[in-house]
């Protein structure tokens, strides 16, 4: 039964891995956007973490997972004569497939080894495989997803060292960080500690050199003289509370009372209940390296005022391995319902239209240009409203469009201010112009269908004057929910839920004036 269940969950994980949901902007702007612009010369927009004088993001752990596959695909296209730039959707799904493979092979393998009792190993792997965190977060291109693999395998290697010191004395410490549990081992075998320090220093030097060359494109000598140490820059930046305030501050208990329940659901209830059970069960649940690592890690992260659920991704499989698999009906029903709801919400619908829409934008622009009298050297401006930032690299190679595409993210701007932005760029009607110099401008608006503010502009009245803007629907992707557009205070709970779910979807509108339609 366990094997059939695991195979079914494997298919579920593949489905969510290939579903184009958009959990958080960092899954693009902290990874794919960084390399796509350099490797393929796709349009890209680097965030301040990569463009400041003291960059705080290291590319050293990202390049093997994202940069290397991109280079291999580019090499394949060049060698086979298919062209220099593969379509961005191919790159997107290759990398998402790669994250699925890493999760399926490395995470499940590590979980299997971390469970000490053989008869509980397979059920625990199934428990982790049935978590929506495994389906969604772990198959997306987050650096936190890679951290999960590093943490779990770090604990696996520690476990191997402790259980089999002789065979692990030389190699395993080379890839481990400083951990208290290894102190007795290092006292008995000081050479292992020397190997740890030496290998740690070597990889740290490689990481610093990689980051320095990436950010400054300097020579080897110059890199040694003026290195870019991103972890140090990160520490300095995050030590300033004013910097963290720009990203949002949370109380110290936010991870424990908000983020962990959001990630674990009923499993967290089981863990809390275990605290009040007999000592043997309590000891088996919490007195182990997995639980201690997860809880202490959460406590350390709680000292940082900015707290997001994805920061706790490495803790999820560790805490799930501490739960003795339950077959009680209440737990199974609640666990299945919790993960099914959150899985489809975060894995399919959450900002699910951003990636497909951005991939479709070149085709939408091309078809619109085909109906223009002047279809060359067009100035195309695309406004995104009430969505996550659209990854520019998904536009791909737009050189054949003969158009200059400018993308503007208006985020959650007030509707009236957004209309002013559009009105300032939309050309006046040709009949009112003395020249047609603005006729080569195309304006598009990408926004959720749940934004009722736009209804006035999609169905203008017959008496509207020439200053009135009109939105013409060009394209819609239905599997999109905008959870940032919930105004319970003004609309009420039921009306808001009905609007957001009933009018789900992300739509591309061309923006014109009423007199020009």
Query: Binning pLDDT at 50, 70 and 90, where does residue 373 land?
Result: low
More confident residue, 245 or 391: 391
pLDDT number for residue 161: 78
Q: CA–CA separation, 500 vs 38, rounded Å?
A: 38
Among 5-9, 95-99, 234-238, 256-260, where is mean pLDDT lowest? Answer: 234-238
Q: What is the pTM of this model?
A: 0.89
Among 24-38, 281-295, 334-348, 420-434, where is mean pLDDT lowest? Answer: 420-434
pLDDT number for residue 376: 66
Closest CA to 356 of 478, 242, 236: 478
Two structure tokens written together for 42: 């796709």
Average pLDDT, the chain: 86
Q: CA–CA separation, 50 vs 29, rounded Å?
A: 10
Predicted confidence (pLDDT) at residue 516 exceeds the cutoff of 80:
no
Cβ(164)–Cβ(158) under 8 Å? Answer: no
pLDDT number for residue 296: 93
- Alpha-carbon dihedral sign for residues 279, 282, 287, 292: negative
More confident residue, 235 or 486: 235
pLDDT number for residue 140: 97
pLDDT number for residue 433: 46
SS3 label, residue 259: helix
pLDDT number for residue 435: 46
Closest CA to 500 of 478, 476, 479, 482: 482
Predicted confidence (pLDDT) at residue 382 exceeds the cutoff of 60:
yes
pLDDT number for residue 482: 85
pLDDT digits (tens, 9 = 90+) for 479-506: 999 887 776 666 678 888 888 888 999 9
pLDDT number for residue 434: 43
Query: Binning pLDDT at 50, 70 and 90, where does residue 169 land?
Result: very low
Closest CA to 175 of 162, 188, 161: 161
Predicted confidence (pLDDT) at residue 337 exceeds the cutoff of 60:
yes
pLDDT number for residue 189: 67
């Amino acid at each position: 039964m366990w094997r059939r269940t695991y195979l079914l969950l494997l298919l579920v994980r593949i489905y969510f891995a290939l579903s184009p949901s958009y959990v958080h902007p960092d899954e693009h702007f902290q990874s794919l956007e960084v390399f796509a612009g350099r490797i393929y010369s796709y349009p890209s927009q680097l965030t301040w973490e990569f463009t400041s004088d003291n960059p705080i993001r290291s590319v050293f752990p990202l390049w093997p997972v994202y940069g290397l596959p991109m280079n291999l695909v580019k090499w394949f296209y060049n060698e086979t004569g298919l062209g220099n730039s593969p379509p961005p959707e191919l790159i997107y799904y290759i990398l998402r497939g790669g994250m699925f493979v890493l999760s399926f092979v490395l995470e499940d393998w590590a979980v299997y080894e971390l469970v000490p009792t053989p008869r509980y190993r397979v059920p625990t792997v199934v428990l982790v495989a049935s978590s929506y965190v495994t389906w969604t977060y772990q198959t997306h291109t987050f650096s936190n997803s890679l951290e999960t693999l590093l943490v779990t395998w770090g604990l696996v290697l520690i476990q191997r060292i402790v259980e089999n010191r002789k065979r692990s004395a030389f190699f395993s410490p080379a890839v481990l960080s400083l951990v208290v549990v290894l102190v007795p081992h290092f006292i008995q075998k000081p050479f292992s500690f020397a190997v740890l320090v030496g290998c740690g220093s070597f990889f740290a030097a490689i990481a610093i050199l990689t980051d320095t060359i990436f950010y400054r494109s300097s020579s080897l000598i110059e890199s040694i003289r003026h290195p870019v140490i991103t972890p140090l820059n990160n520490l300095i930046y995050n030590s300033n509370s004013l910097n963290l305030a720009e990203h949002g501050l949370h109380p110290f208990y936010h991870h424990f009372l908000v983020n962990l329940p959001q990630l674990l659901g009923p499993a967290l209830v089981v863990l809390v209940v275990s605290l009040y059970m007999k000592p043997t069960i309590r000891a088996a649940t919490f007195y182990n390296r997995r639980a201690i690592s997860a809880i202490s890690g959460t406590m350390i992260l709680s000292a940082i005022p900015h707290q997001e659920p994805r920061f706790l991704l490495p803790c999820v499989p560790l805490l799930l391995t501490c739960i003795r698999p339950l077959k009680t009906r209440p737990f199974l029903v609640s666990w299945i319902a919790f993960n099914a709801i959150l899985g489809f919400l975060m894995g399919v619908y959450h900002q699910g239209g951003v990636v497909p829409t951005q991939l479709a934008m070149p085709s939408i622009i091309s078809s619109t240009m085909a109906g223009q009298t002047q279809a060359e050297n067009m100035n195309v401006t695309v406004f995104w409203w009430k969505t996550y930032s659209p990854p520019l690299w998904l536009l791909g190679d737009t050189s054949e469009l003969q158009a200059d595409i400018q993308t503007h993210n208006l985020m959650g701007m007030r509707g009236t201010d957004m209309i002013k932005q559009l009105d300032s760029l939309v050309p006046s009607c040709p009949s009112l112009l003395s020249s047609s110099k603005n006729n080569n401008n195309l304006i598009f608006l990408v926004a959720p269908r749940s934004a009722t503010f736009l209804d006035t502009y999609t169905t203008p009245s017959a008496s509207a004057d020439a200053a009135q803007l009109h939105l013409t629907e060009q394209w819609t992707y239905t599997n999109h929910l905008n959870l940032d557009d919930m105004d319970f205070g003004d609309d009420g709970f039921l009306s808001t839920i009905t609007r957001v779910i009933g009018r789900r979807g992300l739509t591309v509108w061309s923006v014109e004036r009423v007199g020009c339609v």
